Amino acid sequence: MSTTPIIAVQEVTKLYGTQKALDGVSFTVEEPGVVGLLGPNGAGKSTLMKILCGYLSPSSGQAAVCGFDTCAQAMEVRRRVGYLPEHNPLYEDMYVREYLTFTGELYGLDGLKPRVEAVLEQVGFGSESHKRIGALSKGYRQRVGLAQALLPDPDVLILDEPTTGLDPNQIEEIRGLLRQMGQRKTLILSTHIMQEAQAVCGRIILLNKGHRVADAPTSQLLHGQGGACLEVEFAAPLDAMRREALENLPFVARVTGQDTVYRLYLKPEAEAAPAAGDPRAALFQWAVSGSLTIVTLRQETDSLEDVFHSLTQNTPSGL
């Protein structure tokens, strides 16, 4: 059975003059969820988002949302997509409710009054909602943009750095809202906060210099880059024979370090389902049987930040 993907991007290239902002990017999104679009400054994230919303045409390749071509059927696409742009243009002279009602009328929405109140509540507007947009702080302006994107209750939300400028309490609330919406809707969001991507996104697409350099479920991305490791410190330096024995432990894939401090990279199967028990316990037993003393032992996993660095630094473009 073949169903229309929610989002289909095929070999999309975007040139600004002679500069390639996107270079042959392809991916599909087949099911609801939160997809994180990550990448260094200038990687092409905002450009891709504008193309997905039908606000920008690709120089070559195609993009489709809900089966509609973002170029040829841009109006159909815009009806189905809520978009929070990176630099959200707002009418400074309008009051918050007035502005949201105005944009709702542009979408042709019915039952606007309760809908406006509902989105104001969702984005945590509180007592600021009676103000003029020009009088709002940065974080509250961001909330107006989010409220506007949510207003038509679209199936697809494209949010360019949605939590920028929000205070830590509000960031937590908005992340909760994004996770919750991701259960029913398709969200593509960009962020520079790796912690946020890790906490909210089920899948991550990483762009670097206009190329897609990774596209995987977040958990897979975190475990595919060398995986979990144990950092162990012995009371005394290991001799060459002991170090070799460490490397030959059944759950160890690779060892780095010297003298007293070593990092043991675990074999994926040991990490996922430790058949012979917890590798930390096995390591302790091995040390005891060899009359070695372990003074510290820490389990570490790659953070998304490590993955980001390793895939976007010194990466030849075109990977």
Ligand X SMILES: Nc1ncnc2c1ncn2[C@@H]1O[C@H](COP(=O)(O)OP(=O)(O)OP(=O)(O)O)[C@@H](O)[C@H]1O
Applying CB under 6 A, the residues found at the interface with ligand X are 16, 19, 21, 39, 41-47, 86
Per partner kind, with CB cut-offs from 5 to 8 A, the member of ligand X, Mg ion, none near residue 312 is: none
DSSP 117-132: HHHHHHTT-GGGGGSB
For residues 46 and 70, which CB has a smaller minimum distance to Mg ion in the complex?
46
Distance CA 211, CA 47 (A): 12
CB of 270 to ligand X, least distance (A): 37
Q: Which two tokens stand for residue 146?
A: 């989010």
Q: Which region among 13-21, 46-54, 206-214, 297-305 touches Mg ion (by CB under 5 A)? A: 46-54
Q: Which two tokens stand for residue 311?
A: 């895939």
For residues 45 and 115, which CB has a smaller minimum distance to Mg ion in the complex?
45
For residues 86 and 128, which CB has a smaller minimum distance to ligand X in the complex?
86
CB of 71 to ligand X, least distance (A): 17
Distance of CA 66 to the CA centre of its chain: 21
Per partner kind, with CB cut-offs from 5 to 8 A, the member of ligand X, Mg ion, none near residue 42 is: ligand X
**Which residues lie closer than 8 Å to 185 by C-beta, 6 or more apart?**
32, 154, 155, 156, 157
CB of 208 to ligand X, least distance (A): 9
Beta bridge partners of 10: 62
Please report whether residue 46 would count as binding Mg ion according to CB under 5 A: yes
Length of the chain: 319
Q: How far is CA 17 from CA 20, 87, 107, in A?
A: 8, 22, 33
Please report whether residue 42 would count as binding Mg ion according to CB under 5 A: no
Q: Do 274 and 251 form a contact (C-beta atoms < 8 A)?
A: yes
CB of 16 to ligand X, least distance (A): 3
CB of 104 to ligand X, least distance (A): 28
CB of 39 to ligand X, least distance (A): 5
Per partner kind, with CB cut-offs from 5 to 8 A, the member of ligand X, Mg ion, none near residue 279 is: none
Can you tell me which of 11, 86, 98, 155 binds Mg ion, judged by CB under 5 A?
Answer: 86
CB of 119 to Mg ion, least distance (A): 24
Task: Give the E-state strand segments of the chain in sequence order.
Answer: 7-16, 19-29, 33-38, 60-65, 68-69, 81-84, 156-160, 186-190, 203-208, 211-217, 229-234, 252-258, 261-266, 294-300
For residues 49 and 119, which CB has a smaller minimum distance to Mg ion in the complex?
49
Q: How far is CA 153 from CA 56, 104, 122, 313, 317, in A?
A: 23, 11, 12, 38, 38
For residues 40 and 226, which CB has a smaller minimum distance to ligand X in the complex?
40
Beta bridge partners of 132: 95
For residues 89 and 111, which CB has a smaller minimum distance to ligand X in the complex?
89
Per partner kind, with CB cut-offs from 5 to 8 A, the member of ligand X, Mg ion, none near residue 43 is: ligand X
Binding site for Mg ion (CB under 5 A): 45-46, 86
